[in-house]
Structure 1
């Protein structure tokens, strides 16, 4: 798959979101028997801890870049690294304990490639990568990373209008997270379930999932998180809660939690663009001029990103402002959004 992506094979790039794929993948994850044993005597090249550490270092670097510049600027580089540097390691010779670490590190890189494709709204390609990442994480016996990947699938399912699938995926992710004994991760999995319920306009179920997420987050101890989970903090939780209330049409609560979400760590430029747009959207009904002021900050950030999702957020804000187009600053801002989104498409 990595080679086909590197060579830009049309059959891979033209794939669209397949509704049956994620439910089947999550069921397979639940029902496959026993742990796997990823040892290999495939070649004379012996793979050791240094090789695994190098892959982990690259995964961290790519993860940081993705957050700063958007998936469109990093996916091809991640895939090239997988094809040219990681694939030869997988074909090498290694004992089981090294194999587990190697498969886990590779799963994280493949997850990043899928997330970057999702960020560019290449949904079919994202599905293929996330499914492959889930297989690798299971081979690594990494329940935590499996939960993170399943949560990413749920995130995408809500985004493409499949909230029922998102809820099912989130519940499987919760099972994996409990197996990993990571309270923050379990909280995240409840959060993506809540978002699915909100997208279905099920306020009661959404509230129940948000309560479960808060309860799990409060149980988090001081143990060190996996590197791929360090983004999940109170600011991220606030952003997810804001998304839920936006789906439910509660502008006041959306604005409250979106404002809280801006107390975020540095380096998450794309996330800041999302959260600013979320706050601006919630502010439109009461103060469209303030919404434009906030939205302009998001527009400035999005102009430097390669993220179609960030453009979709701006399009949504532009749509919400259309009733106020008689205001000069609103009309000007809506035109600027149109120019940016049209140019990037």
Structure 2
């Protein structure tokens, strides 16, 4: 009879016995809880549990997951020490929580930046979690007014510090639009961790400066989330957007909060969650109406239209598109925040084109996509998206020559971008051209697009 290996982690053995778990059952519970927390790449089995019993320290976030599992089963708090393990340095849900208090929110967001700079595996492996977005939206809408966002730290924060953060945001935004999120996101996260975090954690500022500071940091944090989204790091992106939303609440900036919610709706659509996107777009509308920013209201209506289109509800989409158009006509760009000025007629046309494409209306897809190309030359990634959108409209109409001509232009721009979304747009165009795969011009474009994908 084979001799049972010596188990050096007796505390864990005692908990397994008390809970009545088999090795296989415990491993399965770890995998299931990790998935519920939006974490991917964690696949454990009975042999993993045997290794932990022999004294192996599992990597983060397993100790905290085990603590939750045993705590729920046994009805008491179970820490890492109770498991015979070292504590995880950060919680697995870091950044998914919309804090009830603004000081707690600062603790969470600065820890998120630190863990991101350190490239913590659980952040990179995390996936989009609808529950986290829904809870954050409810809290954004229902939390009572915040207290004074003032602090008495060692370092005085003044208007120059806020102006620097805003200028850095503009610079990173231009680079992101020109080169894609992959080129500049590491530098942005380092700036947040090394330059911005000390201002939040140990700064001295009064209420007015505090509101300006938190609003500026929220905008930069939103940009960091947008870059992660562009790289299809969806769990990480969502956490940044949730924390940006929390910062806007502390700042009392309902306009920027609405913009963050619209961005969250955008991401939800991209990951295939149109009903969640619809909820987020409607929450953005409430913020837009409260702030009086007409362009933001247009954006939130057009995001609602996209969600309806994704749900194949053409009538509701048309109603939302008309509301978006009406709001956009009322806008006065000169009196609105600088961060919304990207949303111009060309951007609105691109959103219309997305809706029409989803609804199978190829003539209006082409018409709106053509209008979307009348855009600022600095938005290289956006132009690439709009060219791919136009090409797909031509493909829907069977105009293969035009589809391939415009698609080739989209490929030219995609080659200069470090953007997973650009590759996704190209892959979508390739899929739409599949029925014509035997046509020489389509075959040539398809082959070129595959070569581009290999080069990433």
TM class by smaller structure = over 0.9
Deviations 1:78-98 (A, max 9, x none): 111000110111121011100
Residue in 2 that maps onto 1:101: 212
In structure 2, C-alpha distance between the alignment counterparts of 1:136 and 1:335, rounded to whole Å: 46
Q: Does 1:73 align with 2:183?
A: yes
**3-state SS of paired residue (1:204):** helix
Aligned to 1:44: 154
1:55-114 deviation line (CA, Å, top 9, x unaligned)? 110011111111111111121111110001101111210111001000000000100010
Distance 1:131 1:80, change over 3 A: same
**1:150-189 equivalences in 2 (<5 Å):** 150-189=261-300
- The correspondence of residues 95-244 of structure 1 with structure 2, limited to 5 A, is 95-221=206-332, 223-244=334-355
Q: Does 1:343 align with 2:447?
A: no
Give, in angstroms, the shift of residue 221 of structure 1.
2.5
Deviations 1:98-139 (A, max 9, x none): 010000000001000100011111110011000000000110
Structure 2 distance, partners of 1:280, 1:222, is 30
Bigger Rg, which one: 2
Give the RMSD, CA atoms, in angstroms.
Answer: 1.0
The 3-state SS of whatever aligns with 2:135 is helix
| Structure 1: distance between partners of 2:145 and 2:233 | 33
152-161 vs 316-325, which moves further: 316-325
Q: C-alpha distance in 1, partners of 2:343/2:373?
A: 14
Distance, in Å, in 2 between the alignment partners of 1:56 and 1:250 is: 41
Q: CA deviation at 1:266?
A: 1.8
Q: Are the counterparts in 1 of residues 333 and 341 from structure 2 also a CA contact under 8 Å?
A: no
| 1:79-90 pair list within 5 angstroms | 79-90=189-200
Q: Is the 8 A contact 1:190 1:213 kept in 2?
A: yes
Alignment of 1:289-304 (within 5 A): 289-304=401-416
> Which ranges in structure 2 are unaligned for 5 or more consecutive residues?
1-111
Shift of residue 225 of structure 1?
Answer: 2.5
- From 5, 23, 27, give the equivalent of 2:134: 23
Give the 3-state SS of the residue equivalent to 1:5 in structure 2. helix
CA distance in 1, matches of 2:147, 2:126: 30
Note the 1:249-264 alignment, pairs <5 A: 249-264=360-375
Work out whether residues 36 and 140 of structure 1, in 8 Å CA contact, stay in contact via their aligned partners in 2. no
Q: Deviations over 1:152-197 (max 9, x none)?
A: 0000111111111111101110111111111011100101010000
Moved over 3 A (4+): none
Partner residue in 2 for 1:60: 170
1:35 Cα deviation after fit: 3.2
2:25 maps to which residue?
none
| 1:198–1:247 CA contact under 8 A, matched in 2 | yes
CA distance in 2, matches of 1:342, 1:125: 25
SS of the aligned residue for 2:156 comes to coil
Distance 1:159 1:17 in 2: 11
Q: Distance in 1 between matches of 2:334 and 2:127?
A: 40
Per the alignment, in what secondary structure is the counterpart of residue 130 of structure 2? coil
| Map of 1:334 onto structure 2 | 446
- With normalisation by structure 2, the TM-score equals 0.74
Q: Relative contact order: is structure 1 or structure 2 higher (C-alpha 8 Å, sep ≥ 6)?
A: 1
CA drift of 1:222 comes to 5.2
Task: Give the alignment partner of residue 286 of structure 1, picking from 378, 386, 398.
Answer: 398
> Does structure 2 retain, via aligned residues, the 8 Å contact 1:70–1:307?
yes
Distance across 1 between alignment mates of 2:187 and 2:340: 22
355, 361, 385: which one pairs with 1:274? 385
Instruction: Give how far 1:329 is off.
Output: 1.9
Q: Distance in 1 between matches of 2:335 and 2:417?
A: 31
Deviation, 1:227, is 1.9
Greater Cα shift, 146-155 or 87-96 = 87-96
Report the Cα distance in structure 2 between the residues aligned to 1:205 and 1:82, rounded to whole angstroms: 41
| Distance apart, 1:8 and its partner CA | 0.5
